[in-house]
């Protein structure tokens, strides 16, 4: 697993930045077209650029869906990569955040989302985040180093919650055999 591969002639943001932006897009709880968020990441993007970003979005989603997205491995304990990744995520998050508002979240999901956002803010600028937390009345301030080891768990929990909100419990709510119990006689005659 690795960050998105950028074309050789790429002159835009880093691959870590774009990876973070794609992760935020994968946290959408409703269908989200690339043009709704990609322009915040890549100004004047081409159809080819949209194609490889969307291809990576799907690949990242597949890893998230199977709980194999290992962000800590990608970041490799590199603070600069973490800051770029967080900045990319936070660039797209405002587009996705509106979808989360008003949704009924479990307490655990809400805490994980808050922890993830806090961790990413700390990765971008720990001093400024601490100042904002002090202004909000917090006395015990976490550091990025404190929260980073749990980053994979946070990402996977939030990704699963987003996916559940996107597809819902459709597999459980659409049951053509709802009125049939396991002890009911079979109506089909075997030939």
Where is pLDDT greater, at 5 or 186?
5
DSSP for residue 4: P
Positive or negative, the CA dihedral 97, 98, 100, 104 is positive
DSSP for residue 143: -
Q: What are phi and psi of 59, to 5 degrees?
A: -65, -45
Digit-coded pLDDT (tens) for 90-140: 999 999 999 999 888 889 999 999 999 999 999 999 999 999 999 999 999
Quick check: 158 and 27 in contact, CB under 8 A? yes
Stretch 80-85: mean pLDDT: 95
Q: Name the nearest CA neighbour of 27 among 165, 135, 173.
A: 165
What would the two tokens of residue 109 be? 């999901």
- Going from N- to C-terminal start, the domains of the chain cover 15-166
Positive or negative, the CA dihedral 25, 28, 33, 36 is negative
- pLDDT, residue 172, reads 44
The model's pTM: 0.84
Q: How far, in whole angstroms, is CA 102 from its chain's centroid?
A: 18
Digit-coded pLDDT (tens) for 147-190: 999 999 999 999 999 999 988 755 444 555 556 555 556 665 55
Q: 32-67 burial by CB neighbour count: b if 16+ within 10 A, else e?
A: bebeebbeebbeebeeebeeebeebbeebbeebeee
- pLDDT, residue 58, reads 93
């Amino acid at each position: 697993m690795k960050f998105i591969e950028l074309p050789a002639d790429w002159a835009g943001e880093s691959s870590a930045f774009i990876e973070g932006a794609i992760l935020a897009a994968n946290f959408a709880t409703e269908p989200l077209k690339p043009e709704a968020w990609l322009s915040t990441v890549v100004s004047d993007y081409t159809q080819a650029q949209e194609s490889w970003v969307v291809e990576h979005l799907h690949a990242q989603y597949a890893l998230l869906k199977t709980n194999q997205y290992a962000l800590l491995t990608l970041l490799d304990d590199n603070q600069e990569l973490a800051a770029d990744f967080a900045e990319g995520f936070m660039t797209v998050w405002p587009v996705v955040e509106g979808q989360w508002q008003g949704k009924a979240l479990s307490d655990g999901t809400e805490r994980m989302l808050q922890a993830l956002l806090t961790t990413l803010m700390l990765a971008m600028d720990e001093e400024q985040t601490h100042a904002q937390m002090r202004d909000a009345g917090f006395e015990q301030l976490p550091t990025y180093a404190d929260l980073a080891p749990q980053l994979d768990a946070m990402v996977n929990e939030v990704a699963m919650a987003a996916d559940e909100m996107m597809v819902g419990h459709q597999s459980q709510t659409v049951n053509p055999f709802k009125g049939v119990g396991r002890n009911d006689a079979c109506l089909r005659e075997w030939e």
